[in-house]
Structure 1
């Protein structure tokens, strides 16, 4: 990819390079509020693989097409037709994304409703920025289901436990303003500024040393899964890898020479 051209990975997902190191992945089924079908799951899994494999891409924005919805969850037509299994991929799980291994940071730019699986996709990202009219929710219990694509535990990790349990058991929606207030959302902006906000955040992240960002992200993601001793060992191992890199030398050198660093990612 080069420039800011849009690549249609399939009918449901597009990939666009924004500048040198930021990519935007768009769920492109606005006619059904970007609901997850087989094409979207396969396209999103491919988008993860492509961005992971591209050494120039350092941060990815995930958003939905249109102004009404980020993602409304599973496509009910697919569920009614007995095609629920097609909404999962072997590598990525639901939507080809929520369980997909990723080394690079993902920012969810939530441009409208993010319900059920849509909230779970946002929760699987590392940061969330939202338009003021956006909303979140896990209404599965209202349909006799559970939020089995990570929502039950990721929401409970992201916000105070009692608030998460209330949202999970009632199925009620959460406004963008309230989501920011309780720490689920990093930033809330007017809809016209959402993509620029996400891009500025992604550009700021991608301006840092890519190896250091990935190592830091790996340990931060693992914070709920290991005790402090294990996390300390992970940090020591990460520092050992970083000390062997060119960027480990470039950072202090650039600071002393009073110039921007030139990261090689190696």
Structure 2
């Protein structure tokens, strides 16, 4: 396991160097985001994207809180938690092309929930509450919560959360399909890494293609999807890995992926 520290964001390689654990490391500010934290997370996401050995990333927060969202003290002096290229919190506008798993300890409210919405999979604890409380404070959730949440949970529930500002326990979000796993407090990272290990077993090109197609599926009609999916699927299905997967199945052994 190797570790690097970049100010307020820490990265560690796990699963034999195939997974990147990214930790927001501002527990004294409940892992809230100012500009420096957003830029540090963007740099960590860029590191993840650029390294072919890294297949999946897990995003978590140091201490008992996942993230409190925007650092309001920083915002009061004009220091917003955004980076130039990836946008809010250094990930919201341009998430990575490879899978990103949120490992949520404590609550995920406001920007904390919107950070989860920038991830592909979510692991939370039985003590976690989630919501977008901005309207109750005369604010508007502008980190993707108002247009991403209705795509991940039923419309009327998303609308209730948006208009009332109330939160729900992670178990409810699990029942609605937004949270993949609910685990006891203190076990979110471990459970997220177990989920990451399952992803690592799959072909890397197929994983990237599958994520790309699923993410864009909301934008396509069925008629469009038949043709447009091939832009992402073709490089995977024409790869050496596809032939290796077929051989491994026939030979009843574990495949050896090369990512090409």
Q: Does 1:253 align with 2:247?
A: yes
Q: Following TM superposition, by how much is the alpha carbon of 1:240 offset from its aligned partner in structure 2, in angstroms?
A: 2.5
Distance in 1 (alpha carbons) for counterparts of 2:122 and 2:136: 25
Q: Following TM superposition, by how much is the alpha carbon of 1:101 offset from its aligned partner in structure 2, in angstroms?
A: 4.2
> Which residue pairs with 1:17 in the alignment?
13
| SS class of match (1:192) | coil
Q: 1:169 aligns with which of 156, 159, 163?
A: 163
Superposed counterparts of 1:129-144, under 5 Å: 129-144=123-138
Q: Deviations over 1:46-85 (max 9, x none)?
A: 0110000000000100001012x1001100101111223x
Q: Does 1:235 align with 2:229?
A: yes
Structure 2: stretches of 5+ with no match in the other structure: none
Q: Following TM superposition, by how much is the alpha carbon of 1:192 offset from its aligned partner in structure 2, in angstroms?
A: 3.0
> Which residue pairs with 1:52 in the alignment?
49
Distance in 2 (alpha carbons) for counterparts of 1:191 and 1:214: 31
Q: 1:65 aligns with which of 43, 62, 66?
A: 62
Paired residues, what number?
259
Q: Deviations over 1:131-188 (max 9, x none)?
A: 1111111111122221111100111110000000000000111211111112221110
> Is the 1:45–1:100 contact (alpha carbons within 8 Å) kept by the matching residues of 2?
no
Structure 1 length-normalised TM: 0.94
Q: Deviations over 1:64-118 (max 9, x none)?
A: 1012x1001100101111223xx11121111111012421000000111111111
4+ long deviations beyond 6 Å:
none
> Is the 2:95–2:118 contact (alpha carbons within 8 Å) kept by the matching residues of 1?
no
Q: What RMSD over aligned residues (CA atoms) do the two structures have, in Å?
A: 1.2
> Which residue pairs with 2:172 in the alignment?
178
Distance in 1 (alpha carbons) for counterparts of 2:236 and 2:175: 36
Distance in 2 (alpha carbons) for counterparts of 1:99 and 1:245: 30
Q: Following TM superposition, by how much is the alpha carbon of 1:263 offset from its aligned partner in structure 2, in angstroms?
A: 0.2
Distance in 1 (alpha carbons) for counterparts of 2:237 and 2:138: 52
> Which residue pairs with 2:217 in the alignment?
223
Q: 2:34 aligns with which of 28, 37, 42?
A: 37
Distance in 2 (alpha carbons) for counterparts of 1:52 and 1:93: 16
Structure 2 length-normalised TM: 0.96
| SS class of match (2:257) | coil
